[in-house]
Amino acid sequence: MCSPISDSSNGYERIDLFNEESIKELSGHYEKILKIIGEDPTREGLNKTPERVAKAMQFLLQGYQADPVEILQSAMFKEDYRQMVIVKDIEIYSMCEHHLLPFFGKAHVAYIPNGTITGLSKIARVVDVFARRLQVQERLTMQIKECIQNTLKPLGVAVVIEAQHLCMQMRGIQKQHSITTTSDFTGAFEKVATREEFIKLISTKLS
């Protein structure tokens, strides 16, 4: 595991994004891949590519190095607000664990506090931490829900993710316009009326 670059306890800033040892090792593998696909890794356009890809992978998969529970715990405030809090249209960029190709779209997250609220940005950070790992969309949806439910202990959590999968667009079945929607709910959101209010609010566009 990489060593921390900062002592911050918010669970995200301690990520050591560009770990030299793993970049070197990854670069060696990408150089071999370039050769196997019939390229010349020494030609001008490619000679830095293995390192660039290694850094890109470290960036895209940085979520393994962050602790989402710590992120939420770093900004929890006692507050008596007991209505729905929704953070919607959180853009996600994740990587399909079957093909190592991106899937991307939006996450909508809601919770109903039970005496404790969290910083709004922390919700988006939690989404990012789980998205920046190898994933399937269903697990990503569940992990976000479970993390918020178990850490904040609200009256309920709702998560909806809408995403396009490049493995279904650029290759394989090649369906360019298909969108996958996943959702998961706990507690108060199991009540149909509450869930409908959430769905209505995430579907409404501000003018």
Ligand X SMILES: Nc1nc2c(ncn2[C@@H]2O[C@H](COP(=O)(O)OP(=O)(O)OP(=O)(O)O)[C@@H](O)[C@H]2O)c(=O)[nH]1
Q: Show binding-site residues.
A: 96, 99, 167
> 60 or 167: whose CB is closer to Zn ion?
167
- Please, which residues have CB within 8 angstroms of residue 85's CB and are 6 or more apart in sequence? 110, 111, 112, 113, 117, 120
Which amino acids are annotated as binding site for Zn(2+), given as ranges?
Answer: 96, 99, 167
CB of 176 to ligand X, least distance (A): 14
Choice from 26, 53, 96, 157 touching Zn ion (CB under 5 A): 96
Q: Report if residue 112 touches ligand X, rule: CB under 6 A.
A: no
Sheet strands side by side (includes 156-165) = 134-135, 85-96, 102-112, 156-165, 180-185
Is 167 considered catalytic here? yes
Distance CA 64, CA 68 (A): 10
Residue with tokens 């929607």, as numbered in its chain = 181
- Measured from the Cβ of residue 160, the count of other Cβ atoms closer than 10 Å reads 20
Question: Residue 138 binds what, of ligand X, Zn ion, none (CB under 5 to 8 Å, by partner type)?
Answer: ligand X
Q: Is 73 a catalytic residue?
A: no
Active-site residue, selected from the candidate residues 79, 91, 97, 190: 97
Q: Is 147 among the residues known to form the active site?
A: no
The sign of the CA dihedral 25, 101, 173, 169 is: negative
Catalytic site includes residue 96:
yes
User: Least CB distance from residue 140 to ligand X, whole Å?
Assistant: 8
Q: Give the residue numbers annotated as catalytic, written as ranges.
A: 96-99, 137, 165, 167
